[in-house]
């Protein structure tokens, strides 16, 4: 293998730049030429492909977002789109591809592998929802962003003796809400992985109020319902007025934490090694603190496992 390419796809995540840097530098270190595909699979279809040298990835390890830009591309889900992408890769002499993104992005990578161009997946999403890996790039940074917000909200919640609802991202997964809730000392966490019990939430709020606790923080994962919808329910059933903070896309931005930079560097480098070994259709991940690789099919056929013991712990610690 002499020439590989890298792209970022789906929602951006802090640390994607560190992963791009790792792919480029690891590739060049081993004598490969590395191309950057801009705008995800859309750029692959359109041939928006340019050479990346050592300097082109300088000064990006600390930056959020992705210097290759990202997009969600429906056309690449079709056979026609994939064939167009392959044509562009052949035109540029690209023999292997590293795809940094979520499980949706892995489907495109798997399709390319099946059509004879080995592609490797690197998990990049704040949602931490990719089956087969304990962590995804961007999760830790987003988590710290949420915790910072919770800490600030708690100041005003305490001063005004109010109940706050904080809606966090995560798509269909509750990891971000769960970890942030535990680390931020939230009184209640509502996640998709646990059947949502309004009665339980109301009972906890009421018993807290009776004990004289007039402020509390409820974290709700967007995969369950919106913060505003939950606020309405709580007002109706507990007669407690709440304030809602929807954290939104600030969770996707910011300088990556040390942990995300390290993870991204390890994942990016391992992805290049896999391509150099002549393999494709694999995803890299972290299991029990070890970098691993596994079949990409597992990543989009399996289901992500949220650590529900943390959920129980948060309940025990927030009585
Ligand atoms: O997958 C990352 C993510 O931020 C999810 O948490 C969220 O549901 C979604 O992307 C938002 O997508 P968009 O940026 O397209 O609004």
pLDDT digits (tens, 9 = 90+) for 44-100: 999 999 999 999 999 999 999 999 999 989 999 999 999 999 999 999 999 999 999
Q: pLDDT tens, 154-170?
A: 999 999 999 999 999 99
Is 307 among the domain residues? no
Whether residues 181 and 126 fall in one domain? no
Please check whether residues 84 and 156 belong to one and the same domain.
no
Q: How confident is the model at residue 205, as a pLDDT? A: 87
- In-domain check, residue 192: yes
- Whole-model pTM above 0.95? yes
Residue 252 Cβ contacting ligand 1 at under 6 Å: yes
Catalytic residue status for 127: yes
What confidence category does residue 262 fall into, taking pLDDT thresholds of 50, 70 and 90?
Answer: very high
Contact in structure between 62 and 14 (CB atoms under 8 Å)? no
Higher pLDDT, 110 or 103: 110
> Ligand 1: does its nearest atom lie under 6 Å from the Cβ of 169?
yes
List the one residue out of 179, 259, 256, 255 whose CA is nearest residue 219.
Answer: 179
The answer to whether position 315 is within a domain reads no
Residue 69 lies in a domain: yes
Q: Tell me the mean pLDDT in the region 243-254.
A: 98
Cα 220 to Cα 181: distance, rounded to the nearest angstrom = 9
Q: Same domain for 178 and 209?
A: yes
Output the pLDDT for position 302: 87
* Residue 222 pLDDT class (50, 70, 90 cuts): very high
Confidence band, pLDDT 50/70/90 cuts, at residue 204? confident
Domain CATH for 157: 3.40.50.460
What is the average pLDDT across 278-283? 97
Q: How confident is the model at residue 314 (pLDDT cuts 50, 70, 90)?
A: very high
pLDDT value for 103:
84
- Whether residue 36 is found in the same domain as residue 94: yes
Tally the domains of the chain: 2
Whether 129 and 191 have beta carbons less than 8 Å apart is answered as no
Atom of ligand 1 nearest to the CA of 126: 2
Question: Looking at the domain assignment, is residue 155 inside a domain?
Answer: yes
- 126 with 153, same domain? no
Q: Is the CB of 192 under 6 A from ligand 1?
A: no
- Cβ atoms 64, 141 nearer than 8 A: yes
Same domain (yes/no): 193, 88: no
The atom number, within ligand 1, closest to the CA of 251 reads 4
Confidence at residue 213, expressed as pLDDT on a 0 to 100 scale: 83
Cα 89 to Cα 198: distance, rounded to the nearest angstrom = 52
Q: How far is the CA of 294 from the centre of ligand 1 (A)?
A: 25
Query: Does 33 share its domain with 162?
Result: no
Q: CB of 115 closer than 6 A to ligand 1?
A: no
The confidence score (pLDDT) of residue 196 equals 77
Position in ligand 1 atom list of the atom nearest CA 129? 1
pLDDT score, position 31: 98
Q: Report if residue 312 sits inside a domain.
A: no
Together in a domain, 268 and 132: yes
Does 120 lie in the same domain as 261? yes
The residue out of 191, 224, 252 marking a domain boundary is 252
Domain hosting residue 48, numbered range: 3-138+256-301
Domain with residue 40: its CATH number is 3.40.50.450
227 in a domain, yes or no? yes
Tell which one of 171, 221, 226 to mutate to probe ligand 1, the residue whose CB is within 8 A of the most ligand atoms. 171
Q: 114 and 182 share a domain? A: no
111 and 158 inside one domain:
no
pLDDT value, residue 301: 87
User: Where among 217, 237, 252 does a domain terminate?
Assistant: 252
Check whether residue 243 and residue 210 sit in a common domain: yes
Query: What angle do the packed helices 258-276 and 16-29 form, to 10 degrees?
Result: 40
Banded model confidence at residue 308, pLDDT cuts 50, 70, 90: very high
Report how far residue 115's alpha carbon sits from residue 129's, in angstroms, rounded to the nearest whole number: 27
- Expressed in angstroms and rounded, the spacing between residue 32 Cα and the centre of ligand 1 is 34
pLDDT value at 127 more than 80: yes
């Amino acid at each position: 293998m002499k020439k590989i390419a890298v792209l970022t796809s789906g929602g951006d995540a802090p640390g994607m730049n560190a992963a791009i840097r790792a792919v480029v530098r690891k590739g060049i270190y081993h004598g490969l030429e590395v191309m950057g595909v801009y705008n995800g699979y859309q750029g692959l279809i359109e041939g928006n492909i340019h050479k990346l040298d050592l300097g082109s990835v300088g000064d990006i390890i600390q930056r959020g977002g992705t210097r290759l830009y990202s997009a969600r591309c429906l056309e690449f889900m079709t056979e026609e789109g994939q064939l167009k992408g392959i044509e562009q890769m052949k035109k540029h002499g690209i023999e292997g591809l590293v795809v940094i993104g979520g499980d949706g992005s892995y489907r495109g990578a798997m399709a390319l592998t099946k059509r004879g161009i080995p592609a490797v997946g690197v998990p990049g999403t704040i949602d931490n929802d990719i089956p087969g890996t304990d962590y995804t790039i961007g999760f830790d940074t987003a988590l710290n962003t949420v915790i910072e917000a919770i800490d600030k909200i708690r100041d005003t919640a305490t001063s005004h003796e109010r109940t706050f609802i904080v809606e966090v991202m995560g798509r269909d997964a509750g990891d971000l809400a769960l970890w942030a809730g535990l680390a931020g000392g939230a009184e209640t966490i509502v996640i998709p992985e646990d059947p949502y019990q309004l009665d339980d939430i109301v009972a906890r709020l009421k018993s807290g109020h009776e004990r004289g606790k007039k402020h509390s923080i409820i974290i709700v994962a967007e995969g369950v319902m919106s913060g505003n919808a939950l606020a309405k329910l709580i007002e109706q059933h507990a007669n407690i007025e709440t304030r809602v903070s929807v954290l939104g896309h600030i969770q996707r931005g910011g300088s990556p934490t040390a942990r995300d930079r390290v993870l991204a560097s390890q994942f990016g480098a391992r992805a290049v090694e896999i391509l150099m070994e002549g393999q494709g259709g694999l995803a890299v991940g972290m299991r029990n603190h070890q970098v691993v690789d596994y079949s990409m099919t597992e990543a989009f056929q399996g289901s992500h496992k949220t650590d529900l013991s943390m959920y129980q712990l948060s309940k025990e610690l927030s009585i």
